[in-house]
Chain A
Amino acid sequence: MANEVTKTMPPSTRLRRTDASEVTVDIRTPDLEINFGPQHPATHGVMRVLMRTDGELVTGAQPHLGYLHRCAEKIGENVEWLQYLPYTDRYDYLASMNNNLGYSLAVEALLGVEIPRRATLIRIICAELNRIGSHLVAFGTYGLDIGAFTPFLYCFREREWMMSLFEKICGARLTYSYIRIGGVFNDAPPGWFEEVARFCDVFEQKWPEYVDLLLVNQIYVKRTANVGVISREMALDFGLSGTMVRGSGIDWDLRRDMPYMCYGEIWRDGAYKIPVAKGEMGTLGDCWDRSWVRVMEMMESIKIVRWCLDHMVDGPVIGELPKTLKVPAGEAYVGIENPRGELGHYVVSDGGKVSVRTRVRGPSFCNLAVLEDILPGSLVGDAVAIIGSTDIVVGETDR
Chain B
Amino acid sequence: MDFQGILDRLVAIRAPGLVKSDEPRKADPKDKKDKGRAGDPFVIVEARELAEFVRACRDDDRLHFEQLVDLTATDPSKDAAELWINVQLLSLKFRHRLAIKAFLPKNAASMPSLVPVYRASQWHERECGEMFGIRFEGHPDPRNILLPDDWAGYPLRKDYEFPKEYHGISCE
Contacts and interface: CB of A to CB of B under 8 A. Distances in A.
Given A74-B156, A365-B123, A330 B39 contact: yes
A361 B120 CA distance: 12
Interface in B85-119: 86, 88, 92, 95, 97, 99, 118-119
A365 B145 CA distance: 11
B35 A346 contact: no
B72 A346 contact: yes
Contacts, number: 114
Contacts of A10: 140
Contact of B39 (A71, A238, A331, A365): A331
B120 A369 contact: yes
Contact of A239 (B75, B118, B144): B118
A69 interface: yes
A173 interface: no
A357 interface: yes
A328 B70 contact: no
Nearest to A245: B92
Contacts of A111: 38
A344 B143 CA distance: 24
A8 B72 CA distance: 24
Interface residues of B, number: 42
A8 B37 contact: no
A380 interface: no
B72 A359 contact: yes
Interface residues of A, number: 46
A110 B37 CA distance: 9
A347 to B, nearest CB: 8
Interface string B117-134: 011111100000001000
Contact of A236 (B36, B67, B131): B67
Contacts of A241: 69
Nearest to A347: B39
A257 interface: yes
B148 A329 contact: no
A66 B39 contact: no
A250 interface: yes
Nearest to B70: A361
Given A331-B39, A331-B40, A369 B123 contact: yes
B36 A328 contact: yes
Contacts of A8: 141, 143
Contacts of A349: 38
A398 B119 contact: no
Contacts of B92: 236, 250, 252, 257
Contacts of B141: 8
Interface string B6-48: 0000000000000000001000000000011111101000000
Interface of A: 8, 10, 65-66, 69, 71, 73-74, 77, 109-112, 236-239, 241, 250, 252, 257-258, 327-333, 335, 342, 344, 346, 348-351, 356-357, 359, 361, 365-366, 369, 398-399
Interface of B: 24, 35-40, 42, 66-70, 72, 74-77, 86, 88, 92, 95, 97, 99, 118-123, 131, 140-141, 143-148, 155-156, 158
Given A74-B156, A359-B74, 20 more contacts: A65-B145, A66-B147, A66-B148, A73-B156, A112-B38, A239-B69, A257-B95, A332-B38, A333-B88, A333-B99, A344-B69, A344-B70, A346-B70, A348-B76, A359-B70, A359-B72, A361-B69, A361-B88, A366-B120, A369-B123
